[in-house]
A = this chain, B = another copy of it.
Amino acid sequence: MKIGFIGLGNMGTPMAQNLIKAGYHLQVYNRTIQKADDLDQASITKCKSPAEAAANVPFVVTMLSEDEILKEAVSGEAGLLHSLQKGGVHISMSTISPETSQLLHGLHQQAGSHYIAAPVFGRPEAAAAKKLFVCTSGGAKAKEMARPILEALGQGIYDFGETPGGANVVKIAGNFMILASLEMMAEAFTLAEKNGLDRAAVANFFGATLFNAPIYQNYGKLIANKQYQPVGFKASLGLKDARLAVKLSQTSQTPMPLAMLAHNRLLTSIAKGDGDKDWVEAFGKGVAEDAGV
């Protein structure tokens, strides 16, 4: 089956590879189309616009990093909205605001096509290993139709109802929880260090006992060892996520002091020139520097 695929970034590329492995032929579009050279050429058709990628297929997946870029790819001059067939489904998988999902849902509805939000949790390695967690929201029928595609990408699909932006809220809440966890570990391990303890021993203990979840084990090790290379996810992208949380806190009138705190930790890091460094460093180094170590 042919489907459209738009956005070949760090996450999009391994996801496209998994779809190819699952037997799909992809009409791919990316701003710098050279990124498509890494894919099996027999299984893809390179396209010159989102509209071309979405032409004559029942599904188009988008994995674009910014709300504005996604909106342009949907309703811009060469947007997918103009070519996606009636009854076709746009599977929107990147981290965006629920507001944008609501807006795009409306546009699709007018055009006779469908929109579902399907943001994912997991880093590029998880995407490659088909270990993403997929959250969905949108019309029940469209979600049902999209299921085989989503199953080819992740280890589990979790549904959050029919409101278009529901899954985006969960994604933003989850990212906030990760940021909060980084701050929490950075404070705890720095407290330990300043009291004469070995950061790694403390991190190992918590990762093996009370906090034995991958997030604490993996990020905990990086923070404990002050090991911020190689860069897995840039601080500037982390701030984008934090800003989504702050904005959602504002629009839904949910005071979130901890979200503000995590946001400012990232903003500080970026203001100091470390926007291209790993987001974990923003927390690990930020807290340690404030403590003079």
User: Interface residues, chain A, CB within 8 Å of chain B?
Assistant: 98, 121, 133, 135, 156, 158, 160-161, 163, 165-166, 169-170, 172-174, 176-178, 180-181, 183-185, 187-192, 194-198, 201-202, 205-206, 208-216, 243, 245-246, 248-250, 252-261, 263-264, 267-268, 270-273, 287, 289-292
Q: How many copies does the complex hold?
A: 4
A258 to chain B, nearest CB (A): 5
10 shortest interchain CB distances as A-B pairs:
A271-B292, A213-B213, A253-B271, A260-B260, A180-B184, A194-B252, A173-B188, A169-B195, A255-B264, A268-B290
Q: Taking CB as reference atom, which chain B residue is nearest A161?
A: B197
Interface centre among A178, A214, A264 (most CB of B within 10 A): A264
Question: For residue A176, which residues in chain B have a CB less than 8 angstroms away from its CB?
Answer: 184, 187-188, 191
Chain A, interface SS category: helix
A286 to chain B, nearest CB (A): 9
Give the distance in Å from the alpha carbon of A135 to the alpha carbon of B169 in the complex: 39
| Contact indicator B261/A191 (Cβ below 8 Å) | no
